[in-house]
Structure 1
Amino acid sequence: MSEYPVALIIACTLVTLSYMALKIQHMRLFEHYEQIATPILTGAACILLMQQPLPAEFGVVDLRYLPIVMAGLRYGLTTALLSTLLPVAYSGWTADLWFFQALQNLVVPAVLSSLFHQSSYKKGSRIPYSSGLKISFLLLVTQAVIHAALHPDLNIRESAPLVFMFLVSAVCLSVLIGMCNDENEKWMMQRKLELQASQDLLTGLPNLRSFLDIAGRTLAHRRMAVFMIDIDNFKRYNDRWGHLQGDQLLREAGGLLRSSLHAQDYIARYGGEEFVLMSTETDPERLQAYAERLIARVSSHPFPHAGETPVTISMGMSIAEETGLDLQSLINEADQALYTSKNTGKNRCTAFVRKSYTSAEQQQQNAY
């Protein structure tokens, strides 16, 4: 009976290791190298559990397979099989019959657990506890068959250790699934709060703070263009149809613009009825055609009350001539071009034109 507490100690060690791994997995650094780090952490946990092997009457398998099961359940077959590489290599170095043990202790659990994997688990969905029970039962059946083949004269009483290990396995998996679900909920809540901090609550678009961060980092490494976009006659629309309809117009116009962008472009709400757009296109003719397409898309959209109060947009654009320029200056130039569009008929796009000075004019400008 002294072997039973050993199994419980191993189970406690497993839970502790898994808790540490969950904390590490949600670190920013880990998220960038998740496909590499997950198999390494899982394999290392298996090796640590292998340092305290169970007696033969408990079956050839011990709890070293549970980290592999969690990897297969959460990430799928590929990650689970990659997670077996380190412990398989360690078995080949330290154990006899290592191939048989690796197949039974690691590869089979990896395959069985991956049968219950769903892609939504990796994105934070709750893993059902029933999956852990089913996997534990399948592993019990597998181990019972193997144990019976190795010990043909085994009686029912001597199979008690296998039943005990099934119970320990089921409890451990339930605890690990509960820990994983709880950590995922915390992680998703944190991401939700981070998203809200960078999102305009009315339109659902990124806010100006988010835009300045993304566009600033982009401008540091490549040329780009900035558009300022304004909904024409918004005050008139708002006054006539009410603030609720005005808010709905902002939401609908923002969604329409976002759905019409090039894949690599980025739009945010600037404030009021204004939006700001970053485009990685820098050819003036293509940018003008791009703007005209957005303008036509808005003017032809069936907004509420558009038949009585037409909805159009005006745009101003500025193109960065080189990388590393001041983003705020680029936005100010696009804003100046926007005012030109507003003052020359609206429902159009104007490009900002930088003045070229002669040497005398430049010296005069510098003097000021």
Structure 2
Amino acid sequence: MNEYLVPLTSACTLVTLNYVAMKVRSKMLTDSFEQLLAPLLTGLACIIMMLVPLPEPLGLIDLRSLPIFMAGLRYGMPIALLSTVLPTGFSLISHENHAWFNIAQDLLAPALISSLFHNKEYRNGFLDIPIRHGLQICTYVFLLRLLIHALFVSGLSSHYVGDQLFMLAIMSGTFITLIIMVNDESQSWRLQRQMELQANQDSLTKLPNLRSFKPIANHALAKRQMSIMMIDLDNFKQYNDLFGHLAGDQLLRDISHVLRQHIHEKDYLARYGGEEFILLSSETDPTLLSLYAQRLCFMTAQSFQSNSESVLTPITISIGITTAELPQAELTQMIFEADQALYESKRQGKNRFTHYKKLPVLDQKMNA
């Protein structure tokens, strides 16, 4: 009876190894190293399983297939096959009996079978791995082993089938445990990501907020010259007074949508607060910046021109622009300069743009 405790001990060892691997992945792993670290850890887990051979009556050598199952299911065929390299080398170096047969049955076949159930969303944690996939993989490998034994060994006896069913239960239970552990880790990661997103996203407009804008802007300014545009929605208080705060909230959502559609692809737009938005742009040429701001003003006014409400309160934006003279400019100073330029746009009649270092020819009223 003690012989049946050996696979249970191996299964507990494998669960522990999986827990350690997940912690290593969460603390150390980056995408650039995952291609190497995942097969390395999987291969080492296979070798540890190979060091604890199962009793001969159970008809299996060890539980080396289980780490391969997880590699194929979560990472796909390339990683699964790469994960077989270390245990294959260990099997050959240790002069294991029937080495090539065992490699084909317990490493390569599981890698191929489990890879059939792979989904790329399992790898990045955006999707939980279904328990049924684990049961299907274990069942297919179980049937494959019965077929191989019947064809190439000595047929099927009731004792052999019974032992194989016991091992199927051990493998299925262990594999399901591994899947549950991975899913729990993925759910925790998704929850953390959601909380981070909520902390860095404006809940009304779904744009990034100022908290997330600042580190990105500081990082960009440390490397090169950049421009900042402060964008303010004109007549917003009057609009709120006339149509109510719910309509005002919807207007902010609509304005953010229009701006998102018409900013340059590599630029970064965030909600600064209230009815103000801030734009980090890689454009630094004054003339091109003027054309850029002019287009934003024009497209905003045009987008709301057909609204009957806009007759009473024209929906337009004013923009203040500043450009860093040198790399490593202070973000706080640039925001101050863009604010000053924005105030000048407001003072001159709104629906216009102004450079901090003014270009009078280009700082023209947009509805002229």
Determine the C-alpha separation between the residues in 1 that align with 2:231 and 2:317. 7
- CA-to-aligned-CA distance 1:113-167 (integer Å, 9 cap, x gap): 1111222223331211111111110010111122223422442222322211111
Deviation at 1:256, TM superposition (A): 2.6
Distance 1:48 1:351 in 2: 67
| Distance change >3 Å, CA 172–CA 221, structure 1 → 2 | same
Deviation larger for 83-92 or 111-120: 83-92
2:58 touches 2:160 (CA, 8 Å); kept in 1?
no
Preserved CA contact (<8 Å) 1:59 1:147: no
1:92/1:263 CA distance change after superposition, 3 Å: farther
Q: Which amino acid aligns with 2:208?
A: P
Mapping for residues 60-139 of structure 1, pairs under 5 Å: 60=60, 62-96=62-96, 97-122=98-123, 123-139=125-141
- Letter matched to residue 195 of structure 2: L
Q: Against the structure 1 CA distance between its residues 108 and 346, is the aligned structure 2 distance closer, same or farther, given a 3 Å change threshold?
A: same
Could you tell me which residue of structure 2 aligns to residue 361 of structure 1?
none
Q: Distance in 1 between matches of 2:89 and 2:64?
A: 14
2:145 to 133, 143, 146: 143
Alignment match of 2:316 (pick from 300, 312, 320): 312
Whether 1:332 and 2:336 are equivalent positions in the alignment is yes
Q: Which residue of 1 aligns with 2:195?
A: 193
Distance in 2 (CA, whole Å) between partners of 1:226 and 1:59 is: 70
Corresponding residue for 2:240? 238
Which residue of structure 1 lines up, in the alignment, with residue 294 of structure 2?
292
Q: Distance in 2 between matches of 1:116 and 1:110?
A: 11
1:166 and 2:168 are equivalent in the alignment: yes
Q: Does the 8 Å contact 1:76/1:117 carry over to 2?
A: yes
Distance 1:94 1:310, change over 3 A: farther
What is the SS of the residue equivalent to 1:26?
helix
Q: Conserved in 2, the CA contact under 8 Å of 1:24 and 1:30?
A: no
Alpha carbons of structure 1 residues 73 and 259: separation in structure 2 relative to 1, 3 Å: farther
The question of whether the paired residues in 1 share the 8 Å contact of 2:225 and 2:327 is answered with: yes
TM-score normalised by the chain length of structure 2: 0.89
8 Å CA contact retained: 1:315, 1:350: yes
Kept after mapping to 1: 8 A contact 2:3/2:55 = yes
Partner of residue 23, structure 1:
23
Measured after TM superposition, the shift of residue 289 of structure 1 is 2.4
Alignment correspondent of 1:257: 259
Q: Which runs of 5+ in 2 are unaligned?
A: 360-368
* Equivalent residues of 2:229, 2:320 under 8 A apart: yes
Judged with a 3 Å threshold, the aligned counterparts in structure 2 of structure 1 residues 8 and 305 are, in CA distance, closer, same or farther, namely farther
Contact 1:314 1:346 in 2 (8 A): yes
Deviation at 1:16, TM superposition (A): 0.9
Contact 2:53 2:61 in 1 (8 A): no
* Aligned match of 1:7: 7
Q: Distance between the aligned counterparts of 2:39 and 2:316, measured in 1?
A: 54
Query: What is the rounded CA distance, in whole Å, between the counterparts of 1:8 and 1:305 in structure 2?
Result: 74
Letter in 2 for 1:218: A
Task: Map 1:209-228 to 2 at 5 A.
Answer: 209-228=211-230
Moved more, 158-167 or 300-309: 300-309
Q: Give the CA RMSD over aligned residues.
A: 2.2
| Identical counterparts, % of pairs | 48
Equivalents in 2 of 1:304, 1:171: separation in Å? 63
Which deviations, in whole Å up to 9, do the C-alpha atoms of 1:236-282 show, x marking residues without a partner?
A: 11111100111111122123322333332211111110011111222
Shift of 1:112: 0.9
Measure how far apart 1:23 and its partner are. 2.3
Residue in structure 2 matched with residue 365 of structure 1 by the alignment? none
Aligned partner of 2:366 in structure 1 is: none
- Count of residues paired in the alignment: 355
Alignment CA distance shift 1:106-1:277 (3 Å): same
1:61·1:143 contact (CA, 8 Å) conserved in 2? Answer: no
Residues 289-323 of structure 1: per-residue CA shift (max 9 Å, x gap): 22222223222224865543332111111111221
Q: 8 Å contact 1:124–1:181 — kept in the other structure?
A: no
- SS of the aligned residue for 1:314 comes to strand
**Cα displacement string for residues 20-52 of structure 1 (whole angstroms, at most 9, x for unaligned residues):** 222222226445533332222222222222211
Q: TM-score, normalised by structure 1?
A: 0.89
Are 1:53 and 2:57 an aligned pair? no
Q: 1:323 to 1:69 in 2, by over 3 A?
A: same
Equivalent position SS for 2:223 = coil
* Structure 2 letter corresponding to 1:147: H
Compared CA separation, residues 286 and 89, structure 1 to 2 (3 A) = farther
Alignment partner of 1:347 is 2:351: yes
Q: Distance in 2 between matches of 1:321 and 1:44?
A: 55
Amino acid across the alignment from 2:19:
Y
Q: Cα deviation per residue 1:44-76 (whole Å; 9 max; x = unaligned)? A: 222222211224443455321111211221222
